[in-house]
Amino acid sequence: QFGIYSAAASKYAFLIDTSGNTSLNGGTLTSGAITSSGLVTADELSVTNDSTFNGGLDINGDATFGDNNKAIFGAGSDLQIYHDGGHSYISDQGTGNLHIIASNETYIANADNSEYKARFITDGAVELYYDAAKKFETTSTGVDISGDLNAVDNIVLATAMYHEGDTNTFLSFGS
């Protein structure tokens, strides 16, 4: 084996073992190289302790996290994305607001993306769905509701109530 040993830290800062694996402060570099400019290339890099990367980190593939392992963003762990084995979470722990930004439309859909739960259309409607059927939609003139509207408390109308359509519509007051 060949390495650079740090007596102060009582460990190798850099080590190549008899199998050709390269260790960097407790991590392992398998089938890779360290260039004369200090660039590390690897087919696989295993790091066992916390690591700090100064500059960008490009990932050309999946980043896989185990259950209860979090992708954490922000100096104060402000945004956390994780799965606890039963549920998935996007958790905003910071002092500001959570903004979801899209250039056209934002959808919330079921797991196989076959039906909407909600749609948020830029410069347009907000739509809410029940079992793939649109039930609530904002429009340029107000709100459209498909199905019954059940109110537990008062419904207050600012001006008037009117009906368009068939003659079988009725209002019922009381129980």
Of residues 160 and 125, the one with the higher pLDDT is 125
Q: What is the mean pLDDT of residues 62-85?
A: 90
For residue 107, what pLDDT band results from cuts at 50, 70 and 90? very high
Backbone angles phi, psi at 165, to 5 degrees: 125, -140
Tokens of 161: 């109530």
pLDDT above 60: residue 76? yes
For residue 116, what pLDDT band results from cuts at 50, 70 and 90? very high
Position 117 scores a pLDDT of: 96
Q: How far is CA 54 from CA 39, 45, 157, in A?
A: 13, 17, 60
Instruction: Give 25's contacts (C-beta < 8 A, 6+ positions apart).
Output: 11, 13, 14, 49
Instruction: Give 27's contacts (C-beta < 8 A, 6+ positions apart).
Output: 45, 46, 47, 48, 49, 51
Position 6 scores a pLDDT of: 62
From CA 14, how far away is CA 33, in angstroms rounded? 12
pTM of the predicted model as reported, rounded to 2 decimal places? 0.60
pLDDT above 60: residue 29? no
Residue type, 156: V
pLDDT digit string, tens, across residues 77-104: 899 999 999 999 999 988 888 899 988 8
From CA 124, how far away is CA 143, in angstroms rounded? 12
